[in-house]
Amino acid sequence: MIIIMEPSATQGQIQTVVNALHNKGFKTVLNKGDVMTVIAAIGDKRIIDPHSFQSYDGVRSVKLIQEPYKLASREGRQEDTVIEFSNGVRIGGLEKPVIIAGPCCVEQDLDGLLRVAEAVKEMGCNFLRGGAFKPRTSPYDFQGLEEKALEYLAIAREKTGLLIVTELMDTLDLDMVCQYADVIQIGARNMQNFKLLKAVGKCDKPVILKRGPAATIREFLLAAEHIMYNGNDKVILCERGIKGVDNNSTRNTLDISAIPVIKKYSHLPIIVDPSHGTGRRYLIEPMAKAGLIVGAHGVMMEVHHDPENASSDGAQSLSIPMFKDVAKRLNKLIGRIDYDNKHSMSMV
Amino acid sequence: MIIIMEPSATQGQIQTVVNALHNKGFKTVLNKGDVMTVIAAIGDKRIIDPHSFQSYDGVRSVKLIQEPYKLASREGRQEDTVIEFSNGVRIGGLEKPVIIAGPCCVEQDLDGLLRVAEAVKEMGCNFLRGGAFKPRTSPYDFQGLEEKALEYLAIAREKTGLLIVTELMDTLDLDMVCQYADVIQIGARNMQNFKLLKAVGKCDKPVILKRGPAATIREFLLAAEHIMYNGNDKVILCERGIKGVDNNSTRNTLDISAIPVIKKYSHLPIIVDPSHGTGRRYLIEPMAKAGLIVGAHGVMMEVHHDPENASSDGAQSLSIPMFKDVAKRLNKLIGRIDYDNKHSMSMV
Amino acid sequence: MIIIMEPSATQGQIQTVVNALHNKGFKTVLNKGDVMTVIAAIGDKRIIDPHSFQSYDGVRSVKLIQEPYKLASREGRQEDTVIEFSNGVRIGGLEKPVIIAGPCCVEQDLDGLLRVAEAVKEMGCNFLRGGAFKPRTSPYDFQGLEEKALEYLAIAREKTGLLIVTELMDTLDLDMVCQYADVIQIGARNMQNFKLLKAVGKCDKPVILKRGPAATIREFLLAAEHIMYNGNDKVILCERGIKGVDNNSTRNTLDISAIPVIKKYSHLPIIVDPSHGTGRRYLIEPMAKAGLIVGAHGVMMEVHHDPENASSDGAQSLSIPMFKDVAKRLNKLIGRIDYDNKHSMSMV
Amino acid sequence: MIIIMEPSATQGQIQTVVNALHNKGFKTVLNKGDVMTVIAAIGDKRIIDPHSFQSYDGVRSVKLIQEPYKLASREGRQEDTVIEFSNGVRIGGLEKPVIIAGPCCVEQDLDGLLRVAEAVKEMGCNFLRGGAFKPRTSPYDFQGLEEKALEYLAIAREKTGLLIVTELMDTLDLDMVCQYADVIQIGARNMQNFKLLKAVGKCDKPVILKRGPAATIREFLLAAEHIMYNGNDKVILCERGIKGVDNNSTRNTLDISAIPVIKKYSHLPIIVDPSHGTGRRYLIEPMAKAGLIVGAHGVMMEVHHDPENASSDGAQSLSIPMFKDVAKRLNKLIGRIDYDNKHSMSMV
C-alpha cells in the first residue's frame, strides 16, 4: 500500500500516518520527493480497509500495490484450476473448451426444452443451461417457472445425460436449486450480492459467476474471492458484456480482452457468453470465436426451440437449426485449439 | 412500441410481424417510408417483452415509446408522493427537505454511535443511518455487527427519538431488520436484486432505494416499480453516484441532473447521498447543496465520531464537529428552499 | 513516480529498472514488500514519458504520484487566476460569477441575433456567445456562416458593448477569429486537438476550453497545460457534460463535482454549460444553479430568438422571455454568492 | 423520423408539429396510442437537424429511424469497398487481411526505423506505420520529428517498397503529409475534428480513420461520412479501443464486436489496432487474432527496435523478434481466413 501525502502536508501529519501504520502492524518506508512525500506501507493490507487512511489529514490518496484478492489470484496459486464433473468433463487449464447451451428461461413447453437438449447433446456439448428464476428488469415480464423449471431440467438431464446449469437468485432457494443443479449460476446483477456469494461459498457445487456490467476485473475477482473465502473453490468466471459507449448497436460491449487479462491474474477458468454480451443473434458466432481464440475455457449461449415466441431474450437466442450450424463451426475451432494445447503449440 | 423493419425486409416479413402483434392484442399502424417501414403497435406493451419482436426476421430494432414502468411514473400518478412517519416527519413533494446522517457502519463502540446520534438530533435532523450488514467488495473487510448493530440503533432511537435507516441485504434477514428499522435501505449493488425488491415490496416500511452505479433512470424506476408492484408504494429514491469517466478524482460521479429528471418522470421522493456519490469528505457539503438546489427531498450523509478509525468509508465521513458546521449551512439553505416552496416561489 | 514490479520479477530486472532511472536523473528508493518490490523514483518526471518504464521486463505497472501538469496546477500557483477584460469585467477567484449567453450558432437573421444580444445586455450579463463555425456530427447539418457570423457578432458588440465569445475550430482560421473575438472558445471535441491548443497558446486572447465528453480531470488540465505551455495563461475551463450511463434522459451527464475538484487542483477559473451539459431546456436553470452553488465562476447558456427554428440545438436553447426569467433568478443567486464571497463567508 | 409527444400534449401542439413537418417537406402518419401520440415523419431527414423538433412544446423525444449517414452506409452501397494501392495491395471485402506495423513515432535513429521496416517487409507485410506529429496528452512529452520523420519514412519506403501510413494532425500540414504518405491516418482524438475531415475529404489519398474513445458506431460512421461527403471515398475505419469500465487492466477496451457490427451497417473496410486498444504488449497477439477471426480487414500494430527506450508507447510495442513471432502466427491465421474467403466458406 502506498500513501501519497499532499504537497502541503506537515511533518506532524506525516508522522501521524506513519504511527497509525505501525500500530496496525505495517513496516513503512518514506519516499521524500521534491514536492511530496510517499509512504510505502509493507505488510498484509487485507487486515484493514486501506481507504481508511484516506481519512487522515494531509493524505492525498492511497494506492493498492498488491491486488486485494488472494485465493483467486495467480500469486496465490500458480497452476490453473481445473474443475471436473461426475461424468468426467473438465473445465479450465488446457482442457478442451466446452459449450454450454440452452434456453434463457425454461418455459411451460417441456417438449421444446427436450428438443433443445437433444440438439445440444447431438452436437457433442455437455451442458444444458436454462433459467428457473429470471431476473427481469421489469416486474411485468415473465419471472420464471421456479421449481417446475428445475424439474423439467432434471427430466432433460435424465434423457440426455447433459449437466444442468441454472441460476440461483436468492439464498432462500439455495437448497432447492442445489438439489437439481450440477452448476449454479450467479447472474451479473448479483455479482456483488454478497450474501448470495457467501451462501454458494458454503455449498459444494461448481459456480459460474457472471461479471457485473460495470465491474472492474478487480471487483470481479473479489466477488470470486467471496465465494472461495467461504469454502468453495470451484468457481468459473464468465465474461458477459459491460456497459460500453454504444448501447444502440449491441446490448452490452463484450470485453474480449478480459479473458487473457483474467488468465494472467487468476488461475480460475473463464468462459464467455456472447448471447448476453451482444444481445444480437448475428453476433453470437463471431464473438464466440473471438472468445475462444483468446483462450476462453468455454462458451455459453442461448438456444430456443422457437425464438420468436420465447418468453425472454428471443433476439439473442439461436433457433435449433442455427445452433447446429454454429456449433459445428465452433467445434471445428475448438478442435484446433485443443490440438494446439495438447501439443504445446501456440494457438492457430 | 415502434418496430423498425430492415430496408431489405420483405412484404411477407412485415406481414408476419403485423399478424403476431394482432395475435397479442395490439392495433397496428404502418408507416412506409422511402427506405424502410415502421410499424407502430398500439396497446399495453406491459403484457409482453417488447424485445421478443427483435427475434423476427426482417426486424432491425424495437423502440419503446411509453416508459415501461407505470406505478412509479408521473403518468400513473400526477401528485407527488409524500411519505409520513409516526413522528410527523414527511418526505417528498413540497415538504421541507430532510437530512439523514450517521456512520456508514455501526461499530462496537456504542458510545461513539450515541455521540453521533446526539449531534444529529442537536442539528435538528430526524434520521439516523447506520449499517448492520455491510456489503464489502472484499471478504477481508469488516462485514458488520448484524443484529447487535440493530440493537445499538434501537438504543440510539430510544435516547434521541431519531428514526432509524438501515440496510437490508438478504431476504433471510427481512423480519429481523423490520423489527428495528423505521426505513429500510436497499443498497446500490442490490438495486436489481429482484428477490429482495419483492420482499420489501411485501412489507409495510418505507424503503430507500439507491441507484445502481451503472443504472439508467429507466432501470432505476423499474426497480422501484418492482417494490410498488408487490404492494409497497412508500419508496424513496436515492441518487448516490454513477460510474463516470474519472474514478481517480472522485469515487463515483454524482449525477445531480438525475434529480430534476426523476422529478419530471416520477412522483416518488428523491434524495441525494454526497458521501458515496463522491467518496471525498471535502465534496460532501458542495454536492449536498447542489442536490438540494435542484430539488432533492433530502440529503443522506456519513458522520463518524472518529473517521480515521472507522471500519469503513472514513474518507467520506464527516467528523462530529465538521458535521455540525455543514448541517448548519445546509439547514440555512433548506430554510430558504422551504420558504420558497411554501410561498409557491421559484427556488432561490 | 512509483514503479511496481511483478511478484515474479528477478533481482536483475529490478536492477535494470533502477539503473535506467538513475541514467535519466532520478533518485530511487526501494520498497521491498513480502510479495513484490516497489521502486519510488524521485525527480522531475516531466522530462520523460513515465509509461515508457512499463516496457521493461518484470514491471507490472507505473503510477504517477504528482499530477503531470504544472502551470495549471494549484501547486504551481497558489492564488486564483483572475482574468480581466478591457471593460473591467473579471472572471475567476472571488469575483462575481458571470453569465455568458447567446445562440448556439449565428444565423442569417441578424435582427434575431441583435434581439438576443439586447436581452443579454438588459439582464446585466457581459458576454454574448455565438458560433461562426459549427462542429456538427453530420455533414448534412448546418456548418455555420463563418466570417459573416463574425461580422454579425461584431455588429452586436458595437450595439451593446457585450464581449464576444466564439469558437475556433481550425488553426487556419486563427487570425480571422482573433480579429473579432474577445474570448476564443475551444470546443469539447477539440479538447485534445493539440495543434489548435498550441495555436491559441501563442495568441493573447483569453480562451474558454471545454472539457471533452470522456476526458478525466487530469486530461482536461493537461489540455489547459498545452495552452499555457505555449505562452497563454488566460485559460477558462468549462465543464459541459460527460458521457454518463444514461443518454436517453439527458444528452450528457453534467459533472457538477468537477467544479470543486478542479478548484482544488487548479487555480484556473471554471465555468459550467448546462445547455450542452444536459441537452434539455428544462434542466438549464436547475443545473446552472447547481454549478453556481458549488463555486463555478460563470454559466454559459444558449438563448435563441426562435428556438423552434434554430439551425442547431434548439431543444437546449431558451427563448428570449424564458432567458429573462432564468437570468433574473440566477442573478439573485449570484448576488448572494457574491455577497458571501465578499464578506468571506461560507456560501449560503 | 419518429416524434413522440408527451402524454399531456394538446391537440394544438400536435397540429403545430405536423404543420412544421409539412412545411419542411415531410409526409406524416399519426399513431395515436392510448397514452400518447407518435408522429411518423416520412422524407429525407438529412435536410434538417431532427433534434430541432425537440424544441416544440409538447414533444417528449425525437427518434431517428434511418441512420443519418448515407454514403458510408450499406444501404447507400451494397458491395464492399475495396481500396487498391499502386503496388496492387488491396484492403476490404474478401481480400486477404493486411498487417500494418511500425513504431508509434519516428525517432532520430533512422537505422532503428529501417531495421523495423526490414522486419515488416520480411514477414510479408505491406505497410509501414510511423508518426511524424504525435498527439500527446502532455506538452512535456515528445511531440514528433515532423518533416524529418516524413523524410525518414520515405527513405524506408524506397529501401523496402512498403507503403507508408502516417498521421495528419492539422490542416496546415496537409500538403506536406500528402507528399510523403501513401495512407493518411486520422487519430482517435481527431475523429470529430471536422475541419480536418473536410480537408482529407478533398485529397485523393486513402484515409485510415480511428474511432474516438467514446464514439458510438453512428458517430464513427458520421465522421467517415464527412470525409466521403467532401469527395474522398477511400476510407478505412479502425477500431482502437473505447473507454470501458476498467482502465487499470488495459488502457482502453478493444470493442471487438464493433467489427461485425460495422460490416453489417457499412461497406467500408475496418481494421483493428490491438496496440492502442489494450496498451499492453502481451495482449497484442490475442486481440489481433480476435479482430481477424470476426472479420477485420487488417491489423495495425506497434513495433519498435528498442521498446524500452521508445519515445512513446513502448509498453504497447513489440520488439523486432517478438513481432516476427507474432506476425508468423497471424500470417497463419490470415492464410486460413483467406482460404475460407476465397472458397466462400464460413470462417474457420
Instruction: Kindly state the average pLDDT of the residues B34-42.
Output: 86
**Mean pLDDT, chain D, as a whole number?**
92
* E strand or H helix at A236: strand A235-239
Structure confidence at residue A347 as a pLDDT band (50, 70, 90): very low
State whether B63 and D2 contact (CB < 8 Å). yes
Do D229 and D112 sit in the same domain of this protein?
yes
Q: Which of C311, C242, C285, C278 is nearest to C101 (CA)?
A: C285
What is the structure's pLDDT at C342? 84
Q: What is the pLDDT of residues D167-211, one digit of tens each?
A: 999 999 999 999 999 999 999 999 999 999 999 999 999 999 999
Do A189 and A318 sit in the same domain of this protein?
yes
What is the structure's pLDDT at B165? 98
Q: What is the pLDDT of residues A122-174, one digit of tens each?
A: 999 999 999 999 888 888 888 899 999 999 999 999 999 999 999 999 999 99
Domain assignment present for C348: no
- Please state, in angstroms and rounded to a whole number, the distance separating the CA atoms of residues D31 and D11: 13
Domain assignment present for B70: no
Structure confidence at residue D347 as a pLDDT band (50, 70, 90): very low
What is the structure's pLDDT at A42? 85
In this model, does residue A274 exceed pLDDT 90? yes
Q: Which of A179-183, B309-313, C166-170 has the lowest mean pLDDT?
A: B309-313
What is the tally of structural domains in chain C? 2
What is the structure's pLDDT at D46? 63
Question: Mutation test of the interface with chain B: which of D27, D61, D64, D66, choosing the one with the most B Cβ atoms within 10 A?
Answer: D66
Q: What is the pLDDT of residues B181-215, one digit of tens each?
A: 999 999 999 999 999 999 999 999 999 999 999 99
What is the structure's pLDDT at A47? 58
Closest chain A C-alpha to B3 CA, distance in angstroms: 13
State whether C192 and D46 contact (CB < 8 Å). no
Structure confidence at residue C309 as a pLDDT band (50, 70, 90): confident
Of the two residues C75 and C282, the one the predictor is more confident about is C282
Instruction: Kindly state the average pLDDT of the residues B224-244.
Output: 96
Radius of gyration for the alpha carbons in chain A, expressed in angstroms and rounded: 23
Domain assignment present for C240: yes
Which residue in D has a C-alpha nearest to residue A296's C-alpha? D286
What is the structure's pLDDT at B175? 96
In this model, does residue B346 exceed pLDDT 60? no
Do B143 and B263 sit in the same domain of this protein?
yes
Q: What is the pLDDT of residues A141-155, one digit of tens each?
A: 888 999 999 999 999
Most trustworthy range by pLDDT among A107-121, C54-68, C300-314? A107-121
Within 218-237 of B, beta carbons closer than 8 Å to A belong to 219, 222, 225-226, 229-230
Q: Which of A35, A63, A91 is the last residue of a domain?
A: A63
What is the structure's pLDDT at A46? 62
State whether D219 and C47 contact (CB < 8 Å). no
SS3 helix, strand, coil % of chain B, rounded to 5?
A: 40, 20, 40
Which residue in A has a C-alpha nearest to residue B304's C-alpha? A55
Is residue A339 within 8 angstroms of chain D, CB to CB?
no
In this model, does residue C110 exceed pLDDT 90? yes
Which residue in A has a C-alpha nearest to residue D345's C-alpha? A329
Is residue B66 within 8 angstroms of chain D, CB to CB?
yes
Do D110 and D31 sit in the same domain of this protein?
no
State whether C244 and B249 contact (CB < 8 Å). no
Residues in chain B: 348
What is the structure's pLDDT at D48? 64
Do A50 and A95 sit in the same domain of this protein?
no
Which residue in D has a C-alpha nearest to residue B78's C-alpha? D8
Closest chain B C-alpha to C258 CA, distance in angstroms: 8
Do D173 and D37 sit in the same domain of this protein?
no
Domain assignment present for A70: no
CATH of the domain at D7: 3.30.70.1140
Please list the residues that pair with C271 across neighbouring strands: C238
- Please state, in angstroms and rounded to a whole number, the distance separating the CA atoms of residues C114 and C131: 14
Is residue A132 within 8 angstroms of chain B, CB to CB?
no
Is residue D333 within 8 angstroms of chain A, CB to CB?
yes
Structure confidence at residue D344 as a pLDDT band (50, 70, 90): low
- Tell me how far CA of residue D318 lies from CA of A92, D34, D304, in angstroms: 29, 62, 6
What is the structure's pLDDT at B348? 40
Q: Which of D110-114, D324-328, D337-341 has the lowest mean pLDDT?
A: D337-341
Which residue in D has a C-alpha nearest to residue A295's C-alpha? D286
Q: Which chains touch C (3 or more CB pairs under 8 A)?
A: A, B, D
Residue whose cell numbers read 500540414: D173
Is residue B332 within 8 angstroms of chain C, CB to CB?
yes
Q: Which chain C residues are closer than 8 Å to D229 by Cβ?
A: 139-140
CATH of the domain at D241: 3.20.20.70
What is the structure's pLDDT at B209? 98
Q: What is the pLDDT of residues A23-74, one digit of tens each?
A: 888 889 888 887 889 998 888 766 566 677 888 889 988 888 888 899 999 9
Q: Which chain C residues are closer than 8 Å to B259 by Cβ?
A: 286
Q: Which of B35, C170, C139 is nearest to D228 (CA)?
A: C139
Angle at A49 between CA B209 and CA B254, to 5 degrees: 35
Domain assignment present for A288: yes
Is residue A263 within 8 angstroms of chain B, CB to CB?
no
Percentage of chain D modeled with pLDDT above 90: 74
- Please state, in angstroms and rounded to a whole number, the distance separating the CA atoms of residues C37 and C51: 18
Q: What is the pLDDT of residues A294-330, one digit of tens each?
A: 999 999 999 999 988 887 777 889 999 999 999 999 9
In this model, does residue D39 exceed pLDDT 70? yes
In this model, does residue C347 exceed pLDDT 50? no
Do D9 and D142 sit in the same domain of this protein?
no
What is the structure's pLDDT at D89? 96
Q: Which of A196-210, B331-345, C275-289 has the lowest mean pLDDT?
A: B331-345
Q: Which of B257, B218, B264, B222 is nearest to B239 (CA)?
A: B257
In this model, does residue C50 exceed pLDDT 80? no
- What is the extent of the structural domain holding A25? 2-63
Q: Which of C35, C63, C91 is the last residue of a domain?
A: C63
Q: Which of A63, A93, A111 is the last residue of a domain?
A: A63
> Which amino acid makes up residue B231?
G
Do D308 and D263 sit in the same domain of this protein?
yes
Percentage of chain D modeled with pLDDT above 70: 97
Q: Which chain B residues are closer than 8 Å to C290 by Cβ?
A: 256, 290-291, 293-294
In this model, does residue D139 exceed pLDDT 80? yes
State whether A245 and D346 contact (CB < 8 Å). no
Q: What is the pLDDT of residues D208-238, one digit of tens each?
A: 999 999 999 999 999 999 999 999 999 999 9
Closest chain D C-alpha to A95 CA, distance in angstroms: 18
What is the structure's pLDDT at B47? 58
Contact D340, D346 (CB under 8 A): yes
State whether C317 and D193 contact (CB < 8 Å). no
Picking from D137, D310, D314, the nearest residue to C222 by CB comes out as D137
Q: Which of C157-161, C221-225, D40-44, D244-248 has the lowest mean pLDDT?
A: D40-44
Q: Which chain A residues are closer than 8 Å to C33 by Cβ?
A: 40, 42-43, 65-66
What is the structure's pLDDT at D25? 86
Cell of C134: 459549427
What is the structure's pLDDT at D35? 81
What is the structure's pLDDT at A43? 80
Do D28 and D143 sit in the same domain of this protein?
no
Domain assignment present for A347: no
What is the structure's pLDDT at D315? 81
Which residue in C has a C-alpha nearest to residue B211's C-alpha? C245
Q: Which chain D residues are closer than 8 Å to C52 by Cβ?
A: 308-312, 314-315
> Which amino acid makes up residue A59?
V
Contact D312, C49 (CB under 8 A): yes
Do C125 and C220 sit in the same domain of this protein?
yes
**Mean pLDDT, chain A, as a whole number?**
92
- HSE-CB at B23 with a 13 A cutoff on CA atoms is 8
Instruction: Kindly state the average pLDDT of the residues B310-337.
Output: 92
Do D58 and D125 sit in the same domain of this protein?
no
Do C50 and C91 sit in the same domain of this protein?
no
Closest chain A C-alpha to D113 CA, distance in angstroms: 29
Q: Which chain B residues are closer than 8 Å to A136 by Cβ?
A: 194
Is residue C8 within 8 angstroms of chain B, CB to CB?
no
Closest chain A C-alpha to B91 CA, distance in angstroms: 26
Instruction: Kindly state the average pLDDT of the residues C75-85.
Output: 94
Contacting residues for D311 by C-beta, under 8 A, at least 6 apart = C49, C52, D105, D107, D141, D142
Structure confidence at residue C210 as a pLDDT band (50, 70, 90): very high
What is the structure's pLDDT at B347? 44
Instruction: Kindly state the average pLDDT of the residues D260-288.
Output: 96
**Mean pLDDT, chain B, as a whole number?**
92
Q: Which chain D residues are closer than 8 Å to A240 by Cβ?
A: none
State whether C194 and D136 contact (CB < 8 Å). yes
Domain assignment present for D71: no
Is residue C254 within 8 angstroms of chain B, CB to CB?
yes
- Please state, in angstroms and rounded to a whole number, the distance separating the CA atoms of residues B88 and B83: 10
Question: Mutation test of the interface with chain D: which of C49, C202, C232, choosing the one with the most D Cβ atoms within 10 A?
Answer: C49
**Mean pLDDT, chain C, as a whole number?**
92
Structure confidence at residue D45 as a pLDDT band (50, 70, 90): low
Domain assignment present for B105: yes
Structure confidence at residue B45 as a pLDDT band (50, 70, 90): low
Instruction: Kindly state the average pLDDT of the residues A242-256.
Output: 93
